[in-house]
Structure 1
Amino acid sequence: MTRATDPQAGGLRRGETFVDVADGYRLWVEMTGDPERPALLLVMGANASGQCWPDELVELLSRDHFVVRYDHRDTGRSTHAFHERPYPIRALADDAIAVLDALRIARAHVVGMSLGGTLVQLLLLDHADRLLSATIFGSALIAGAAPDPGISDDDLPGPDPRLLALWAELGQERDPEAELRWRVEHWRVLNGAILPFDAEEFADLERRIATHSGTWHSPAAHALADQSGMERGAELANVSVPTLVIDAPEDPITPPPHADRLARAIPTATRVTVPGLGHALPLAVVPPLATAITTHTGQRP
């Protein structure tokens, strides 16, 4: 059974609460905007707190939606217990539904970035009745899809080698100053080469995340979690939920044509490009990203 620890959260009030999900995990959840507006659930990427969604983006989206963001297991203020109670990555998709259940949200627009986009693909397959629409970016097509004669696997580049080198250091113990430097450098590579990179902007973000989390420890549980059970790409051919795939042309993890390949696998998908978008969310991309999402959800013409 899932529930919000604050019973008022079931009445869709704005603010923060905690939601109890499976295996003794508790998730931090924040609600922003008018509860009478359509719900929009933000699903962040691997090892990333919900605080990685820029406040400015949440504010723009909340003008037209009741926005919910949350910390995955083993991130932010949610329970950190992977080594005692390990779980498969697919459990994180169940957590997204558990959040909706606890808040008594019957259906929501769902937006997923990076691993969040992978989880949204699973939601499209297993919980389509709970989705008003889906938006995916910074994410690759899940495994198991039928071959595409237009885009072969050989056409899909892998992550930037600089990221692979940084990921090899994920979870290492560092003092707060060294951890902050590592995280800012990570964001620098994720940002891509087109949009100017403001190191202080991302340093401020990481300071807020550390304050929110109460620690500078670098989470790495999702990199260790079981990846099995997600080889279901062929099933996306049956999706009927309106889906938007946002192409991030400067993404160093899933560069073009990953977004095109994903969009081609989903019959209801449309694809738009946010110029300059990489695998980070600097303030410069917030307005066009918000416009793309709200246009897709039908809240903006």
Structure 2
Amino acid sequence: MPSLISNGISIAYETAGDPKAMPVLLVMGLGMQLTAWPADFVDGLVDLDYYVIRFDNRDSGLSTKFKQAGTPSLPLVFLKSRLHLPVRSAYRLDDMADDALGVLNTLGVAKAHVAGLSMGGMIAQILTARHPERILSLTSLMSSSGRRGLPGPTRQARAALMARPPHGADPERMLGHLANMLRVVGSPAYPTPEKQLRAAVAAALLRNSCPAGMVRQLVAIIASSDRCALLRSIERPTLVIHGAADPLVPVAAGIDTARLVPGARLEVIEGMGHDLPGQLIERLLALIDTHTRGKMAPDIFPRLFEKQ
């Protein structure tokens, strides 16, 4: 796996497709590696004539880990956040956006479409707002504006996210822990077969496992300010995609994001949770391709869903 130096740290990356094709930068979410983008999704973008760039965020995958920062206490971090007290973090989302920009710089990509998932959507929002001259369009998937007061995860999703990873080096227990987390936040109408889910987790664990890095990323999200003002400043065509059944980042967060970005288009998918189920890959590819090619008219008022 190739790596590059971005923002002073090592970032692992992978590209697919013709470098002369239209570039699209994919930014993954909390604790996930570049390999979490489904192969069918990446291959589909290549077939649609895109040059696909993926990378491991700092503190995940094969990129630099901030081990010297230790593992923060999440209960203490959440308490400080509720009390509106400053939260210390090893880095912030702004730093992660600078990492993403550095990937484009090192690869010699002058302009690119950017699509980010969950935390990756937050990073993509910052990148688009602060460097509009480098971004052609933004697709924010299952992400949020970070506004205080938005609904949080369901009780079950929060419990899965907060559950302590098993101690020791038993790979089977860690596999079960992570598979349960993905199962809980997944799409109820489009479930991933258990065998496929566990195989994906096993492959991810074989590549890298850094639970402490995931905690540091979560603290970076909490420590970063809301992006409401930043979202209002975005000038690039924006598509917001969100699952109506998302238990981790409820759909209200996607609606709020779309309302804040001028002219943003909102697409709410019934039965979709906080994942990219295989049954929806073709639909997602069609939405993104239509958006990036400028064929999707922006909504003056983002289209909302009716069913819960």
Quickly name the TM-score band, shorter chain normalised. 0.7 to 0.9
In the TM superposition, 1:1-301 aligns within 5 A as 16-23=1-8, 25-63=9-47, 64-84=49-69, 86-143=90-147, 153=149, 156-174=150-168, 175-213=170-208, 215=209, 219-220=213-214, 221-225=216-220, 227-298=222-293
1:239 counterpart SS class: coil
CA offset digits 1:189-231 (Å, max 9, x no partner): 1113222331111111112212222x47574221233744533
CA 1:127–1:82: 2 relative to 1, 3 Å: farther
Provide the rounded CA distance (Å) in 1 between the counterparts of 2:108 and 2:188.
42
Provide the rounded CA distance (Å) in 1 between the counterparts of 2:3 and 2:162.
32
Counterpart contact for 2:119–2:221, Cα < 8 Å: no
- After TM superposition, give the deviation of residue 128 of structure 1 in Å: 1.1
CA 1:272–1:56: 2 relative to 1, 3 Å: same
1:129 counterpart SS class: coil
- After TM superposition, give the deviation of residue 47 of structure 1 in Å: 1.3
1:57 counterpart SS class: helix
The equivalent residue for 1:13 is: none
1:73 counterpart SS class: coil
Provide the rounded CA distance (Å) in 2 between the counterparts of 1:260 and 1:62.
29
Counterpart contact for 2:31–2:211, Cα < 8 Å: no
1:225 counterpart SS class: helix
CA 1:164–1:83: 2 relative to 1, 3 Å: farther
Q: Percent identity?
A: 31
Aligned length: 274
Counterpart contact for 1:90–1:227, Cα < 8 Å: no
TM-score, normalised via structure 1 length: 0.84
- After TM superposition, give the deviation of residue 32 of structure 1 in Å: 0.1
1:67 counterpart SS class: strand
Provide the rounded CA distance (Å) in 2 between the counterparts of 1:227 and 1:193.
27
CA 1:298–1:218: 2 relative to 1, 3 Å: same
Provide the rounded CA distance (Å) in 2 between the counterparts of 1:216 and 1:286.
28
- After TM superposition, give the deviation of residue 255 of structure 1 in Å: 2.0
- After TM superposition, give the deviation of residue 300 of structure 1 in Å: 7.8
- After TM superposition, give the deviation of residue 87 of structure 1 in Å: 2.1
CA offset digits 1:236-274 (Å, max 9, x no partner): 223210000012111112222322221111113111233
Counterpart contact for 1:239–1:268, Cα < 8 Å: no
Aligned amino acid, residue 205 of structure 1? A
Aligned amino acid, residue 202 of structure 1? L
Aligned amino acid, residue 53 of structure 1? W
CA 1:185–1:218: 2 relative to 1, 3 Å: farther
Provide the rounded CA distance (Å) in 2 between the counterparts of 1:169 and 1:77.
24
Give ranges in structure 2 of 5+ residues lacking alignment: 71-89, 297-308
- After TM superposition, give the deviation of residue 84 of structure 1 in Å: 4.5
Counterpart contact for 1:124–1:131, Cα < 8 Å: yes
CA 1:226–1:251: 2 relative to 1, 3 Å: closer
- After TM superposition, give the deviation of residue 299 of structure 1 in Å: 8.0
The equivalent residue for 1:10 is: none
Q: RMSD in angstroms over aligned alpha carbons?
A: 2.2
Provide the rounded CA distance (Å) in 2 between the counterparts of 1:187 and 1:218.
18
